[in-house]
Structure 1
Amino acid sequence: MFGEHRYTVTSVWTGDRGTGTSGYRDYDRSVTLSIHGKPDLPASSDKPFRGDPARWNPEDMLLAALSECHLLSYLHACVQAGVIVRGYTDKAIGIMFEDGQGGGRFTEVILRPHVIIAEESMKDAAMRAHHQAHEWCFIASSVNFPVRVEPTVRVA
């Protein structure tokens, strides 16, 4: 399990309206993302960037990757700590600023997981498991902006 892991995705632009990229408003930002053995993902740029708001955009996917990575790492940390998780919902927020020159960057992501556990006696360990999950999350360890975790835990 240790060592290098490789991931592949095929991105196909599907937004040629017949004149290619002849002008900024002349093409669609539609993309199909494919990974062998998985359903295709319809993607686009975000609506402010002339994209289709019904499709996933790169900003959505980055936020989703951080949220899901913490969730999966947290479940593993809870198993190791003897915490029984009965429910988990995260309402993550990402903050991105444009630089005025056509680019920009995320400046912060805040994960707000709401966790339901089986017993009151597990509450302290359930809170501590968020720290371990954050340390283990491959995606959070790969970004150059802060990823904050603001959890709540309650008993089922």
Structure 2
Amino acid sequence: MHTHQYTAGIEWTGNQGSGTSGYKAYSRNHTIQVPGKPEIPGSSDPAFLGDKTRYNPEEMLLISLSACHMLWYLHECAVAGVVVTAYTDAATGTMQEDANGSGRFTGVILHPKVTVAEGHMTEKALQLHEVAHHKCFIANSVNFPVSHEAVII
């Protein structure tokens, strides 16, 4: 068994002079830092007074699920001899907010659109999404369903 360690930092940049003296007194802006990489501008969802031009945690969760699935899928295709020439995804997720303000994701659907070099590999390409799904580290780590509705071209 192998273990892997990851390091990431976050810095709140939203103090507008009075800190968190009131719910609307501060910005939700922050930067996400990983050593040796460009910073990612973050905030909360605009529904929670966040900056719509910055990434929010809910979007980052979708991005993580989508990227993990794609990377496993490309690996499985390479191993199986399926030549992928293009891949896009438009992931969607549903988050339920409870009356007390807490909440959770109730599901994510990935919508990968994959172009393969050889038409006779379409069925195999479609099947490999299931393999990728079961190997995705992120999908295996969440407590809600992650499904995929793939299209192969």
Shared fold (TM-score, shorter chain, > 0.5): yes
1:56-98 CA-partner distances (Å, limit 9, x unpaired): 0000000000001000000001011110001011011010010
Displacement over 2 Å in runs of 4+: none
Query: Shift of residue 107 of structure 1?
Result: 0.2
The amino acid that maps onto 2:31 is: T
> Which blocks of at least 5 consecutive residues in structure 1 are unaligned?
none
Q: Percent identity?
A: 53
| Distance apart, 1:121 and its partner CA | 1.4
Task: Tell me the equivalent position of 1:111.
Answer: 110
Q: What are the residue-to-residue correspondences of 1:69-108 with 2, within 5 Å?
A: 69-108=68-107
Residue 27 of structure 2 corresponds to which residue in structure 1?
Answer: 28
**Matched AA of 1:86:** T
Q: Which runs of 5+ in 2 are unaligned?
A: none
Aligned counterparts of 1:97 and 1:119: Cα–Cα separation in 2: 41
Alignment of 1:134-153 (within 5 A): 134-153=133-152
Task: Give 3-state SS (helix, strand or coil) of 1:42's partner.
Answer: strand
Q: TM-score, normalised by structure 2?
A: 0.98
- Residue of structure 1 equivalent to 2:119: 120
C-alpha distance in 2 between matches for 1:112 and 1:144: 20
Q: Please give the alpha-carbon distance, in whole angstroms, between the structure 2 residues aligned to 1:119 and 1:35.
A: 39
Root-mean-square deviation (CA), in Å?
A: 0.7
Q: Structure 1 CA distance, aligned partners of 2:54 and 2:32?
A: 11
Matches within 5 A, 1:17-56: 17-56=16-55
CA distance, structure 2, for counterparts of residue 79 and residue 132 of structure 1: 13
Aligned pairs, number: 153
